[in-house]
Amino acid sequence: MNYKESLEYIDSVSWKGSRPGLERITELLALLGNPEREVKCVHVGGTNGKGSFCAMLTSVLIAAGYSVGTFTSPYIETFCERIQFNGENIPEDELAEITTYIRPFADGMDDIPTWFEMITAIGFEYFKRKKVDVVVLEVGMGGRLDATNVITEPLLSVVTGISLDHTEYLGSTIEAIAGEKAGIIKSGCPVLFGGENTVAERVIKTAAGEKGCKFYSTDHSALTVKKCNLRGSVLTYKTHENIRLSLLGLYQPMNAANVIEAVEILRAGGLEISEEALYEGLLAARWKGRFEMMCADPLVFFDGGHNIEGASAAIETVKRYFEGRTINILSGVMADKQYEEMVAIMAPVARRAFTVAPDNHRSLDAEEYANVFRSMGIPAESFGSYEDAVAAAMKASWLERVPLLVLGSLYAYGSFKIALLDHLNKSGRAGENPILSEEK
């Protein structure tokens, strides 16, 4: 199979659906010779902050001289972003070759793997072939029954934080969701909890104790944010002073504190990570879709805050960066999210809203979404495409000289970026906005 054929095979109807359980992925990996047993992993779960944590830790480990595999989801622009080696996407021809290799094993199973299980198997096989030193492995959803949970001896299990999300699968309470995410904890392996919810921390700590694990938690009182603006952040955590981040967002210093705590644990476990590598890696870390500046005139930011906690973090950043000012918001969300509560969070800073439905079968209707904004006193327009929504939002933001925040599903990133580039080219202002032309 070539790359296109491989994607068509992975995305074929027979692979779709979420069917929690480890039986299929366990069988498939056994047929492949258990490639997951040949790599060392840092396993990362949690509701929000997983992606930023993985990006920062990957960057630090690379700076320390390790070869690093990174497995994340969902992808932002290209499918190959899910599986990376030393910060670079898996090449299309290698993904196609590995998919071709795995296909006969998968097709021969009585209970064929799901879409995510197939991707997970491809990732482990790729990392085995690259002989990586460490894999930074992000949980897809939940933890206990997630396909990534086939690893048995992680270097470290991390739960970045816990809030209500995916309640139809994980449970309707913090305790229930924390219990599912605690499922990644393995006997005798260290555990880090990076969140602030005391109920969730109690569940994770109890689970760690039951499995004889050393339990660590990030000391948020030891975090001092000295600067946080459009040029990034400067922070101090414990004895680590004046650490600089290029990633924007008021929440990124907290993610960095979690990474620093993880580095200390990994050092104790035998990894050699110098202070220079820590500082260099955190400064060099990049991550798409997290309060990412997409355009300079007008100021445009994209943030994939797709649930209440994520939206709250993005809006707190707006309040910090643009104190006392209102902004325009372009947003599209999934219908299964708590979108009314999310709009209530956005309302205090929203000047006007532009709504659109992301290209996903779970998307909320754009006009229905606009009506929620209107019910809270925010002028809102709905659009049938990202092209139309971006054109209207950009024109209004440019004329009114106000920032534009694109907030909601990460599934929207690719469509939004294409529409934004097209709008800037048509308006003749692409050259005035160099940010989009550079890979940050």
Q: Is the pLDDT of residue 439 over 50?
A: no
How high is the pLDDT of residue 434?
A: 59
How high is the pLDDT of residue 362?
A: 82
Q: Which residue has the tokens 């605690």?
A: 182
Which region among 49-58, 207-216, 307-316, 386-395 has the lowest average model confidence (pLDDT)?
307-316
Edge-first strand listing for the sheet containing 41-45:
88-89, 83-85, 68-71, 134-138, 41-45, 156-159, 191-193, 215-217
How high is the pLDDT of residue 336?
A: 81
Q: Is the pLDDT of residue 62 over 50?
A: yes
Which region among 65-74, 273-282, 299-308 has the lowest average model confidence (pLDDT)?
299-308
Q: What is the pTM of this model?
A: 0.90
For 137-151, how does the pLDDT look when each residue is reduced to its tens digit (9 = 90+)? 999 887 888 999 999
* Lookup: tokens for 304: 């994939």
For 348-366, how does the pLDDT look when each residue is reduced to its tens digit (9 = 90+)? 999 999 999 987 778 899 9
Which band of pLDDT confidence, cut at 50, 70 and 90, is reported for residue 193?
very high
Which band of pLDDT confidence, cut at 50, 70 and 90, is reported for residue 426?
confident
Which band of pLDDT confidence, cut at 50, 70 and 90, is reported for residue 432?
low
Taking the C-alpha atoms of residue 367 and residue 431, their distance in angstroms, rounded to an integer, is: 34
Beta strand pairing call for 327-332 and 232-237:
unpaired
Beta strand pairing call for 88-89 and 83-85:
antiparallel
Q: Taking the alpha carbons of 349, 325, 438, 277 in that order, is the dihedral positive or negative? A: negative
How high is the pLDDT of residue 141?
A: 80
Q: For the chain, where do the domains classified as CATH 3.40.1190.10 start and end?
A: 3-284
For 286-337, how does the pLDDT look when each residue is reduced to its tens digit (9 = 90+)? 998 899 999 998 999 999 887 888 889 899 999 999 998 999 999 998 888 8
Q: Is the pLDDT of residue 17 over 60?
A: no
How high is the pLDDT of residue 427?
A: 80
Q: Is the pLDDT of residue 192 over 70?
A: yes
Q: Is the pLDDT of residue 121 over 80?
A: yes
Q: Which CATH class is domain 3-284?
A: alpha beta
Closest residue by Cα to residue 321 from 234, 241, 227, 435: 227
Closest residue by Cα to residue 329 from 236, 240, 392: 392
Q: Is the pLDDT of residue 15 over 50?
A: no
Taking the C-alpha atoms of residue 337 and residue 353, their distance in angstroms, rounded to an integer, is: 18
Bigger pLDDT: 400 vs 426: 400
Which band of pLDDT confidence, cut at 50, 70 and 90, is reported for residue 29?
very high
Q: Is the pLDDT of residue 177 over 80?
A: yes
Is-contact 376 406, C-beta < 8 A?
no
Task: Please state the rounded mean pLDDT for residues 106-120.
Answer: 93
Mean pLDDT estimate for the chain: 91
Please report, as a single letter, which amino acid is at residue 165. Answer: D
Task: Please state the rounded mean pLDDT for residues 47-71.
Answer: 95
Task: Please state the rounded mean pLDDT for residues 359-386.
Answer: 93
Which band of pLDDT confidence, cut at 50, 70 and 90, is reported for residue 52?
very high
Q: Taking the alpha carbons of 68, 73, 75, 76 in that order, is the dihedral positive or negative? A: negative
**Domain 292-437, CATH 3.90.420.10 — does that match?**
no
Q: Is the pLDDT of residue 100 over 80?
A: yes
